[in-house]
């Protein structure tokens, strides 16, 4: 098979796939895993910190959700001495 290996070495190899994301208007090359994470979470939830990509900090609310105390039966029909028990501060 004369010339076979020379012909193979001269052929062009397919280009390497580059994974790009757009954060804050800038297009950045990232790994496949990072791109999939960004696509799952959403590009708007990430920010640039220099050259690194970070999640934006999440704002915490001071709202509390009702916590039902002494619940033994159906959660939709509560029978307690005081009625509903609302949690306004952490216990």
pLDDT digits (tens, 9 = 90+) for 31-86: 999 999 999 999 999 999 988 999 999 888 776 555 555 555 555 555 556 665 55
Cβ contact 27:20 at 8 Å: yes
Query: In 3-state terms, what secondary structure has residue 9?
Result: helix
Question: Cα separation of 61 and 80, whole Å?
Answer: 29
pLDDT at 76: 57
pTM given for the model = 0.53
For the chain, how are helix, strand and coil distributed in percent, rounded to 5? 20, 20, 60
Count CA atoms closer than 13 A to 79's CA, side-chain side: 3
Query: In 3-state terms, what secondary structure has residue 89?
Result: coil
**Domains of the chain by residue range:** 4-55
pLDDT at 91: 47
């Amino acid at each position: 098979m004369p010339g076979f290996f020379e012909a193979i070495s001269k052929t062009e190899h397919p280009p390497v796939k580059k994974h790009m994301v757009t954060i804050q208007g800038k297009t950045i090359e990232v790994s496949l895993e990072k791109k999939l994470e960004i696509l799952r979470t959403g590009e708007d939830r990430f920010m640039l910190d220099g050259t690194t990509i970070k999640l934006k900090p999440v704002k915490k609310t001071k709202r509390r959700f009702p916590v039902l105390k002494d619940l033994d039966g159906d959660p939709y029909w509560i029978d307690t001495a005081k009625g509903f028990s609302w949690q306004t501060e952490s216990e």
